Structure 1
Amino acid sequence: MESRFSIGDIAKIHNVSVQTLRHYDKIGLLTPSYINKETGYRYYSSKDFVIIDLIKQCKSMGLSLDEIKEIIHNYTSLESILDIMKKQKDIIDKKISELNTIKNNISFLEKRINDSLEEGIDRIFIKEYPKREFIKYDNTNRFTVEFEINLSKALADAERKYNNFNKELAFVTSFEDLENDDKTIYKAMMLSFTDMLNVNDKEKYIIPEGKYITINFDDDYKDTRKYYARIMNYIRENNLKIKGDFYEIYAMTRVGNDGKEKSLGKLQIAVL
């Protein structure tokens, strides 16, 4: 007579919980080989050992229970098993690509935060920066509902086009208007992503390499006027000659437990 094993025995032998075995039975993945009609007790046979091992092997490859059931029910067909394996490899390759994108996004943001901390927060300095590329958008009516809607649309469009989420948001602000009329006039909005390989040259806005008067801040983005004032005073006090306009660049925005928004950003302008 073939040996019979209770559900508790099988759980101990194969290091599988009783609840898991009952679930397998419920969905038709692994049904006990024998049921005592008088007591209703369910028993497994040594044949079920092979099925349990196969289930474990398939789970280690990331297969779903439905896919494992298909393999078990068609275990005589090697072609069927190969087809499922190929599909699973394709799924894994896609997940690897997604994880690499996530890792690149983390590295992108990590570098921006580390750079800001190393340069210093809330202090003015002059530093050489490399050329930086952005995508230009016609959305300059800042601090309005219209701006927020257009920004969300631009982000969604860029994510679809460039398959990327982590970004820097930047603005070009007129130096001339600030110096002559004490007005902060936004001339362009830009986005920069971790991967800019497929961006058309016509869509690009390039911040040239060079020395920039810079201040990093971690503050409410609606309260940046004070940083413009500080840089303007710094320029006058040191009799510096500048070229071009201001660049207001943001790496991340977050909301604290107090409900207040904070943005990690930098304000800079090129110096001759």
Structure 2
Amino acid sequence: MKKFLTIGEVSKIKRVSAKSLRYYEKLGILIPAYTNKETGYRYYTVEQLLIIELIHICVELGIPLKNFKTYITSQESIDIQKLLADGEEIVNDKIKKLEGQKQFLSNVFTHVMRTNAVKDTPNEFIEDIPDRYFLTIDYKNDLSDYNAVNLEYSKLFEQSMNLGIADNFNQGFFARWENRQCIKQIFLEIPNPHRDIENLYFLPGGKFLCKILPFEEFANIKAQTDFCIVQELFDLKISPHERLIEIQEPVSSEK
């Protein structure tokens, strides 16, 4: 019996419970090399340790154990080529999602650091801001209706996720005046997507006149130009506090 490993030995070597090994047997994805009919003891070969490792990899990748049978050929061997192909696809997708989450955390950090730097600035200031890209939605309702605004934000968040783009954690709205009417668009800033998107708005970089205000006051401010950006500032405080917004207006090159 020395050429076999007991279920206890396999459990210790591969750090898998005997209960799991019996479950693998029940699923038909790992059959003991030998079962003593009198005692019911199960034994495995050294080669089967590799099968257990492949099963563990599938678990880590999120492949349901019941699907492992799809990698077993009619000759009862593992189709490693198919498993590799599926594994690569899953891993690449996970990497893409993790990179997106890492980028989002970086964007949040950048936004919060800037918020902390400017939120207590009492006076207007000029800042040189690089090119920016925004997903936008036309909006005709009252901007003070935060529930309605949040609904539009959620649509843009969902779109950015579907596009596989981590948003820049800047959200707000554009306001431009045409024929004495204010045209409004809800926006979500994103990195350069390097692709054509129907509701993508490109804003060239330049100098912007910036003003920090409590959210309740922005409606009473008269814009000095025909275009302005109103974006919310977040500092990630976990308790309720005053909401701040930042108004940005392009500075004319003539100034």
Q: TM-score, normalised by structure 1?
A: 0.66
**1:28 Cα deviation (Å)?**
2.2
SS of 1:54's partner is helix
Instruction: Give the Å deviation of 1:161.
Output: 6.8
1:94 corresponding residue in structure 2: 93
Describe how 1:206-245 pairs up with structure 2 within 5 A: 206=203, 209-215=206-212, 224-226=215-217, 242-245=224-227
Stretches of structure 2 lacking an aligned partner (at least 5 in a row): none
Q: Following TM superposition, by how much is the alpha carbon of 1:67 offset from its aligned partner in structure 2, in angstroms?
A: 5.5
* Residue aligning to 1:190: 186
2:128 aligned partner: 129
Q: C-alpha distance in 2, partners of 1:57/1:163? A: 30
Provide the secondary structure at the position in 2 that maps to 1:138.
strand
1:147 aligns with 2:138: no
Give the Å deviation of 1:162: 3.8
What letter matches 2:9 in structure 1?
D
Could you tell me which residue of structure 1 aligns to residue 49 of structure 2? Answer: 52
For 2:9 and 2:73, how far apart are their aligned partners in 1? Answer: 25
Residue 169 in 1 paired to residue 166 in 2? Answer: no
- The number of equivalent residue pairs is 242
CA offsets 1:5-37 (integer angstroms, 9 cap, x no match): 542233224433223223222322223344444
Query: For residues 145 and 228 of structure 1, do their structure 2 counterparts lie closer, same or farther at Cα, with a shift above 3 Å needed?
Result: closer
Larger helix proportion of the pair: 1
Residues 15 and 86 (structure 1), Cα distance of their counterparts in 2 relative to 1, 3 Å cut: same
What is the match of residue 229 of structure 2?
247
Tell which structure's C-alpha radius of gyration is larger: 1
Distance 1:15 1:144, change over 3 A: closer
RMSD between superposed Cα atoms in Å: 4.1
2:170 partner SS: strand
Asked whether the equivalents of residues 136 and 199 of structure 2 are also in contact (C-alpha less than 8 Å), the reply is no
3-state SS of 2:107 partner: helix
Give TM-score scaled by structure 2 length.
0.69
1:131-168 Cα distance to aligned partner (Å, 9 max, x none) = 43434432031234883486157426733774436353
Q: Distance in 1 between matches of 2:87 and 2:24?
A: 21
Report if the CA contact (8 A) 1:171-1:186 is conserved: no
The percentage of counterpart residues that share the same residue type is 19
Which aligned pairs between 1:6-25 and structure 2 lie closer than 5 A? 6-25=6-25
Q: Counterpart of 1:81?
A: 80
* One-letter identity of the residue aligned with 2:29: L
Mapped to 1, the partners of 2:37 and 2:198 lie a distance apart of 77
Q: Partners of 1:157 and 1:266 in 2: how far apart? A: 24
- CA deviation map 1:173-218 (0-9, x unaligned): 579xxxxxxxxx9631232223443345885263762141321x6x
Letter in 2 for 1:225: E
Amino acid at match of 1:23: Y
